[in-house]
Chain A
């Protein structure tokens, strides 16, 4: 049988159950004797808990708090500052202090409302002052570059919060099964959850089981945050000894779960007499919120993207995570890169304008090439087709002609282009040192092959693409390869579903396992094939100094956005987006194009323009889907997206990372278009009509 190109799209295996409403999301699960948990939250941004006054609790209703924790009162992530239930101090508005649990929701709600907590209010901290993590890297001799510079240019950029706004709020259903804490939930990382619960419950490996339910969107918001709800739930299960449903209401989810870190990035360029950037200094500031969570890693990834698609020989990058009394911030598709790429893309255009050069020529001159050093002195070993991609994008969008035409300020139209990269996988030796991914294929006697990995399908398609991949390598029909929902009882830890690593790393391991299985296939026998991640030899990374190869591979993208701005209302009509992406090889073209559409909605239209979230005194002003504006179908521009193959030798069929690439370049593309339309320098995203009006009136 002639083999089809792996990119050729097939029917997604879970479409029917989702279209029909039959797929059972966490909130659809019903168990006998189910109890319900409701959080009682802090109304203040910072304070000491003086006294908790509970209403009288009827039989069957309990309060669960820090006193009920058998193990560590720490949500196990990277740092140990995030409590499962705060004992003495609260650190943000909305922080869950305790749970009320019982069999009747009306009663639980009534009791939760009747809990009175006395606080001694303390002075909260906001803004970019209290640094809890600081990182640094450098390359070459930036001091010298600045000392000998013919001129220097510097600007500051800002980005705001972004809320993941998955349509399915967070939640778990938990129960005890012969002493095993069994948690079924809407999650990205079954083993993050398991490990957190093990620590909080001081439990044995076999006593905790985590199962992924269908996930109604995640985008990073269900990466580390569920470890908090899961540990709280496990503590409650131990106390109540009954099944418990723990689902967040939308407003809870909006105010109290992790968001994209607001950022302030300061950029400074040292130029020689030929207007070449010889040195770049950057400072990245992230508002981490009350607890550190993954903020250090977000900062790291952001900092690493400082030079983006440009080669600059001398680089000095500092970064800080500031702790504030606001909701802890965390993972969101892009993970620090959108903030940095907004800054560097805007900056490189602003530098060009400052020195009076055509921005396109200026950027092209600095464009990265294969063999160049990365921001941290690693090497871009693989072919880079960015130039070809850009030419394609320019052609389909008619970029140059429009750019010239829209120079006329009366048109109030603009066209903007961004180039960007995304490092695939965990930084540096993270895969080797931290994750140590393992995958397993289990073959039954009848020849059915089960994929046993912890990778979560949250809409991006591994339920389909993994089966496709393994079936293709094994030369079997798709129906003979199964990929059940990850259950930690049965699957090894293949790592979290994050960092655009799922296809490249986990898929890569599955492809190798499948190859082994194929070669050792014995009809009628039960067999297993396992693979463990091994870091490619060429990766050299010094974590402390942030030097070397930060990533094993890079995906690349070009976004072009055309806009028209209203002179009367300052609203932006985003008319068209054109994109070209290099993600190595699409394991399913339509799925990848779907990622492009979704990433652009969140990047170009969302973070670039519509999505505003602000706090005042630690209280978020936009607390529901009415006030937090995400795009509707009417808000989406026309789009044209192309994928260009550039196979990566160590990725399955050449695949690299996709999931985040399609978001990270969006905000600067639309911001640059708006900048041209209004003739003013844009320094903040989202580029709201209010901000546009301010720029027009104040320059």
Chain B
């Protein structure tokens, strides 16, 4: 057991748990944050993506130990932000959501890339999504949505 302290969506939390729990499981089981999903359990699909210190990481590969002292934002926290609303609007307008299982991860990927590069080219958007697999959409409408959010959300990122 270890005491692990981190910020989750703005709130400071200390958990006393085994350090070798997957952070994805800590979120889903211990903290009831089920927005991050398990699609593969090996860091390939990105459905488990969260923001760690503002950047995308796969929570299925993150042991709880590594989160100590860090800042975590999940889709549950992100959806309170203006940036989320801009992306949400764009995703809806572009038809970027089909089954929706990859979508929270795509939002996290979008935030992670736009905060680095607020005006990405399509090629850069594609590479920014390289770790988020979607089986339904063929990605085109997701790329269009991020492009649109970047354009209409000028100043947000």
Contacts and interface: CB of A to CB of B under 8 A. Distances in A.
A60 interface: no
A167 B44 contact: no
A626 B42 CA distance: 8
Interface in B131-148: 131-143
Q: Which secondary structure dominates where chain A touches chain B?
A: loop
A19 B88 contact: yes
Nearest to B25: A105
A218 B126 CA distance: 24
A597 B91 contact: no
Q: Which secondary structure dominates where chain B touches chain A?
A: loop
Given A458-B99, A594-B98, A250 B138 contact: no
Interface stretch (A191-199, A490-498, A633-641): A633-641
A633 B129 contact: yes
A217 interface: yes
A12 B97 contact: yes
Contacts of B132: 633
Interface in B42-68: 42, 44-45, 47
A459 B136 contact: yes
B41 interface: yes
A625 B45 contact: yes
A175 to B, nearest CB: 19
Contacts of A673: none
A9 interface: yes
Interface of B: 28, 32, 34-42, 44-45, 47, 74-76, 79, 87-88, 91-95, 97-104, 107, 125-127, 129-143
A219 interface: yes
A-B pairs, 5 with minimum CB distance: A21-B35, A18-B100, A216-B101, A459-B99, A597-B138
A440 to B, nearest CB: 25
Interface stretch (A23-31, A141-149, A465-473, A481-489): A23-31
B135 to A, nearest CB: 5
Contacts of A20: 35, 75, 79, 88, 104
11 contacts: A12-B95, A168-B99, A214-B100, A598-B135, A598-B138, A631-B138, A632-B130, A633-B130, A633-B132, A633-B143, A634-B127
A249 interface: yes
B104 A625 contact: no
A642 to B, nearest CB: 14
A600 interface: yes
A529 interface: no
Contacts of B107: 19
Contacts of A16: 88, 92
A11 interface: yes
A601 interface: yes
Most chain A beta carbons < 10 A, residue from B47, B91, B131, B137: B137
A174 interface: no
A169 interface: yes
A594 B95 contact: yes
A526 B63 CA distance: 55
Most chain A beta carbons < 10 A, residue from B100, B132, B138: B138
A250 B126 CA distance: 25
